[in-house]
Amino acid sequence: MDFSIPKGAKIGVAMSGGVDSSVVAALLAEQGYQIFGMMLRLWSEPGLEAANRCCTPDAMARAKHVAGQLGIPFYAIDARDVFRETVVQYFIDGYTNGVTPNPCLACNRHIRWEFLLNRALALDADFMATGHYARLQREPGKPVRLLRGIDPGKDQSYVLSVLNQAQLRRAVFPIGELQKAEVRALADKFGLPSASVKDSQDLCFLAGRDYPNFLRRHAPESVNSGEIVSREGEVLGQHNGLAFYTIGQRKGLGIARPEPLYVLEKEPRANRLVVGTKDQLGQSNLRTHQVNWVSGRPEQEPFRAEVKTRYTAQAEPGLVTPSEDGQFKVQFDRPLRDITPGQAAVAYRNDEAIVFGIIRGEGAAETSFKEVKLFE
Amino acid sequence: MKSELISHSYLDYAATTPVSQEVAAAMQPYFSQMYGNPSSIHQYGQQADSAIEEARLVMAAIFKVTPKEVIFTSCGSESDNLALRGAALAAREQRNASHILTSPVEHPAVSRTAEQLARLFGFELEMLPVDEFGRVRAVDVAARLRPETAVVSVMAANNEIGTINPVDQIGAVCRQAGIPFHTDAVQAAAHIAMDLSSLPIDLVSLGAHKLYGPKGIGALIVREGTPLLPVQTGGGQEHGLRAGTSNTPYIVGQAVAFQQAALQREQHRGKLIEMRDHLIRTVLETVPHSQLTGHPQERLPNHASFVFKGVDGNQLLMVLDGRGFACSSGSACKTGSPEPSAVIKALGLAPQWALGSLRVTLSHLTTEEEIEAFLNTLPDAVHRVRMLRG
């Protein structure tokens, strides 16, 4: 527990009906904070409104029930329009520009920690708490530091490193100090429903459906077929749309060759998919844009760090070199196979998230994120 | 765990009211002592039956009708359903009627029922025009009545905007044409005496919980000779119009609640109107870009309702709740739907106004201190919510 939160503070708890945020609410209530629950109603495709994984009517009913058990006020907050305009648009923009976006980043930046936080503050909250597995360190006069959650399998600091200091100062992550198993045990102790919202790689607004069909409906220009070529420019086949391929992918290319071929790169301007052999795969460098120095103070000197290039990836050691415009490059100690433009690179020093940036594609359009930006 | 509410000023008496002590006390013996089924032959049954018939006499006396014209139901919504569906289907059966005339400011219990009758039974559903205050005019009813009109339904006083309709004039027009007239008086009954010996209304929906009675009990007054089919069929209770074992304690409690309302209504009216008008005046003065909804005079004495430009009404309710004031809005959807209600839409407000509705409804239990505290909080609460837009 973070003891730097003043006693008696008013805290809005972002609830989901799942075990993590329910335990957060119970822990804070037990410690005597004045708390209230909030739950976002998010956008789903018309006709699938009941199926948004993050806020089904069932989940809403569970969250409301937990709030009732704890005797705290609970408010459902409609974010459907703003979610469509930011998170879903970010997702569509990314694929339209030939990169692989992570819309959860836009959600944390624009929905949870802007739209929802502003509503919590309007409800006179001093802080907003969520069930994220991450830790914060507050010291007077210093920037708030964002640290990895104690449970390595659950750490969510990667998606939270989009937050700025104003957001972090208002944030409380009570279960970042706990293992998932401890959270479940607490749920039992408090008599809360202990079912997790199913961990899933699916995006909430896809409602369990596949993204290719979503893109066909909402961004048809992102799914034009084009040429599959080798590094040398030899045409080897046809792809169905760049959006359907990921860097490092081997299966499903539809090319008969003696040696297996892998997706090396996407060329959105030419709408070409570049493939090659295993030894051609892998990259030791990445460049970023859309950068967020978590402390709010860009570093000047190169530093050694562990860098995560996807939510689920292992952090890899390398050298982070800041550039004068506040962006940064990474030189990894060994090549990585799946550095994917559009995903975030987050550099950690020890357990602390230092800097966040969106991985830039070498051949990708520089005009990525034409409409929705993570940072102004 | 904790059970005390953070909200401590209840200003939502149009949503529901607390059960008065007199009502609760009157109900008490009928749960575990005089629990007989009023349809039974034995003395247990007789005891319950006589309590119910006593309650029916009380209700009949208040509305100046005969006891057999009082039908007990489970709530105001059920009364609306029975009135509209029962009258429409009876008129269809007896004279092949095909037309329903109602207003765009009805409670959903009326409008959803009318829509279903149109969809399933082919009734033509016609909407009466309303003025800027949400008021229906009798001349507009007269102009639209047809021989094949099954039933006309216009509410007595609106729940969202408080406007009182001229149901005496509308009823007169209908009676002259021989068309049954229904009014939903669930909100009005707490504040307006209805003498049905002179008022030309055939069907009147009532509910107990708007006037310090329990939830889950209501009544429909059916004037003799009004063609009506039962909606809930089964045993012959309630003169065959509403099957189901009678809910003795609630029927008794409802009668006491209506009796008290009839006795106390006039003595509370002056204070309520004074508080209401002070509240309306002050809100319009202190909150920029605010507007009263509903009629300035012809409105329920405890009812103040507003729209605020560029405000999300649901957000405003949350902020007010957080600061200790329980109010309501036009869009009653608790799941946070941002659609303005049909009633607010019918007023013809511009979109940037229509979502920002607030309803403040008072009681004789409301104190001047509560109102002052509310009036001191509201301008800043509206300001906070406005800052969230965009």
What residue ranges do the domains of chain A occupy? 10-206, 224-280, 283-359
CA A21 from centroid of its chain's CA atoms: 17
Q: Answer whether A71 sits within 8 Å of B2, measured CB to CB.
A: yes
Indicate if the pLDDT at residue A209 is higher than 80.
no
Dist CA A184 CA B253 (whole Å): 47
- Assigned fold of A10-206: Rossmann fold (3.40.50)
Q: Which residues of A touch B335 (CB under 8 A)?
A: 41, 57, 60, 76, 78
Model confidence band, residue A364 (pLDDT cutoffs 50, 70, 90):
very low
The Cα A79–Cα A82 span in angstroms is 6
The pLDDT of residue A365 is 45
For A19, list phi and psi in degrees, rounded to 5.
-65, -40
Is B336 in Cβ contact with A70 (below 8 Å)?
no
Q: Which pair of tokens denotes residue A311?
A: 């939510």
Range A303-308 contact pairs with CB under 8 angstroms and sequence separation of 24 or more: A303/A349, A303/A354, A304/A349, A305/A330, A305/A347, A305/A348, A305/A349, A305/A354, A306/A347, A306/A348, A306/A349, A307/A332, A307/A345, A307/A346, A307/A347, A307/A348, A308/A158, A308/A345, A308/A346, A308/A348
ipTM above 0.85, yes or no: no
pLDDT tens-digit readout, B268-313: 999 999 999 999 999 999 999 999 999 999 999 999 999 999 999 9
Would you tell me how many other CB atoms lie within 10 Å of the CB of residue B247? 19
- Statement: residue B62 has pLDDT above 80: yes
- Please compute Rg for chain B using Cα positions: 21
End-to-end CA distance of chain B: 38
What pLDDT does A367 receive? Answer: 43
| Interchain contact, B314 vs A119, CB within 8 Å | no
Higher pLDDT, B295 or A204: B295
Architecture of domain A283-359: Beta Barrel (2.40)
pLDDT score of B149 more than 50: yes
Residue type, A147: L
Q: How many CB atoms lie within 10 A of CB A33?
A: 22
pLDDT of residue A175: 96
Residue A50 binned pLDDT confidence (cut-offs 50, 70, 90): low
Q: What mean pLDDT do residues B144-166 have?
A: 97
If you average pLDDT over every residue of chain A, what do you get? 89
DSSP B136: P
- Taking CB atoms and an 8 Å cutoff, what residues of chain B touch A58? none
pLDDT bucket at B1, cuts 50 / 70 / 90: very low
pLDDT in tens, B106-134: 999 999 999 999 999 999 999 999 999 99
Q: What are phi and psi of A22, to 5 degrees?
A: -65, -40
| Predicted local confidence at residue B7, as pLDDT | 53
Q: Residue B9: is its pLDDT beyond 80? A: yes
CA–CA gap between residue B52 and residue B225 (Å, rounded): 23
Pairing of strands B325-326, B9-10: parallel
pLDDT in tens, B330-369: 645 444 556 788 898 899 999 899 999 999 999 999 999 9
| Lowest model confidence (mean pLDDT) among A118-132, A217-231, B202-216, B244-258 | A217-231
Whether the CB of B314 is below 8 Å from some CB of chain A: the reply is yes
**What is the third-level CATH fold of A224-280?**
SH3 type barrels. (2.30.30)
- The whole-angstrom distance between A45's CA and the closest CA on chain B is 16
- Distance, CA of B259 to CA of B256 (rounded, Å): 5
Residue B190, Cβ neighbours under 10 Å: how many?
Answer: 26
Interface of A with B in 2-41 (CB under 8 A): 29, 36, 41
**Contact yes or no for A76 and B336 at CB 8 A:** yes
Q: Do β-strands A283-293 and A352-359 pair in parallel, antiparallel, or remain unpaired?
A: antiparallel
Strand partners, A324: none
Alpha-carbon torsion (A23, A26, A32, A38), positive or negative: positive
Q: In what order do the strands lie in the sheet with B181-184?
A: B70-73, B218-222, B203-207, B181-184, B149-153, B99-102, B124-127
Q: What pLDDT, on a 0 to 100 scale, did the predictor assign at position B292?
A: 98
Q: What is residue B330's DSSP assignment? A: S
DSSP per-residue codes, B259-275 = HHHHHHHHHHHHHHHHH
Note the maximum CA span of chain B: 69
Interstrand relation of A344-349 and A303-308 (parallel, antiparallel or unpaired): antiparallel
In what side-by-side order are the strands of the sheet with B303-308? B290-292, B303-308, B357-361
At residue A362, does pLDDT exceed 70? no
Q: Where are the alpha helices (DSSP H) in chain B?
A: 21-27, 29-32, 43-63, 76-95, 108-121, 138-144, 167-177, 248-286, 313-322, 342-346, 351-354, 368-388
Q: Which of A98, A92, A87 is nearest to A366 (CA)?
A: A98
Positive or negative CA dihedral for A218, A221, A227, A232? negative
Identify the residue with better confidence: A233 or B214. B214
How many degrees, rounded to 5, is the angle at CA B290 between CA B284 and CA B296? 60
Report yes or no: B240 and B228 within 8 Å, Cβ to Cβ.
Answer: no
Residues 143-182 of B with CB under 8 A from A: none
First-to-last C-alpha distance (Å) of chain A: 33
pLDDT at A200 over 70: no
Whole-angstrom CA distances from A80 to A43, A51, A85, B335 are 4, 13, 9, 12
Residue B41 has pLDDT above 60, yes or no: yes
Instruction: Please report the pLDDT score of residue A372 as a whole number.
Output: 65
Could you tell me which CATH number the domain at B21-261 has? 3.40.640.10
Give the CA count within 13 Å in the CB-facing half-sphere of A10. Answer: 13
Beta strand extents in A86-200 (DSSP E only): 127-129, 134-137, 145-148, 171-172
- Rounded Cα distance, B31 and A345, in Å: 67
Q: What pLDDT, on the 0 to 100 scale, is given for residue B64?
A: 98
B9-17+265-388: what fold?
Answer: Aspartate Aminotransferase, domain 1 (3.90.1150)
- Please indicate if any CB of chain A lies within 8 Å of the CB of B57: no
Average pLDDT over every residue of B148-156: 98
- Which A-chain residues 34-53 have CB contacts (< 8 A) with chain B? 36, 41
Q: What is the pTM assigned to this prediction?
A: 0.88
Nearest to A119 among B3, B335, B388 (CB): B388
* A196 pLDDT above the threshold of 70: no
pLDDT of residue A195: 63
pLDDT for B2 beyond 50: no
Residues A110-168 have pLDDT tens digits of: 999 999 999 999 999 999 999 999 999 999 899 999 999 999 999 999 999 999 999 99
C-alpha closest to that of B334 among B358, B317, B309: B317
Interval A197-214 mean pLDDT: 70
**Residue length of chain B:** 390
| Residue range(s) occupied by CATH 3.40.640.10 in chain B | 21-261
Q: What is the mean pLDDT of residues B80-101?
A: 98
DSSP letter at B339?
P
